[in-house]
Amino acid sequence: MKFFIDTANLAQIKELNDLGILDGVTTNPSLMAKEGIRGEENITKHYKTISDLVKGDVSAEVISTDFDGIIAEGQKLAKINPNIIVKVPMIKEGVKAMKWFTDHNIATNCTLVFSAGQAILAAKAGAKYVSPFIGRIDDSNWDGVQLVEQIANIYAIQGYETQILAASIRSALHIVQCAEAGADVVTSPLEPILGLLKHPLTDIGLAKFLADAKGAK
The yes-or-no verdict on residue 202 having pLDDT over 70 is yes
Give me the residues paired with residue 109 across strands: 87, 129
Give the residue-averaged pLDDT of 155-176.
97
What's the CA gap between 191 and 186, in Å, rounded?
13
Distance in angstroms (rounded) separating the CA atoms of residues 135 and 144: 7
pLDDT, mean over the chain = 96
CATH number attached to the domain at 2-215: 3.20.20.70
Say how far residue 42 (Cα) sits from the centre of its chain: 22
pLDDT in tens, 137-149: 999 999 999 999 9
Please tell me whether residue 213 adopts helix, strand or coil conformation: helix
pLDDT band at 172 (very low <50, low <70, confident <90, very high): very high
| 99 tagged catalytic | no
The domain ranges of the chain are: 2-215
pTM for this entry: 0.94
Question: What Cα–Cα distance (Å) separates residue 83 from each residue in 11, 49, 52, 159?
Answer: 20, 12, 9, 25
Q: What is the pLDDT of residue 186?
A: 98
pLDDT surpassing 80 at residue 57: yes
Kindly name the residue from 34, 76, 87, 99 that is annotated as catalytic: 87
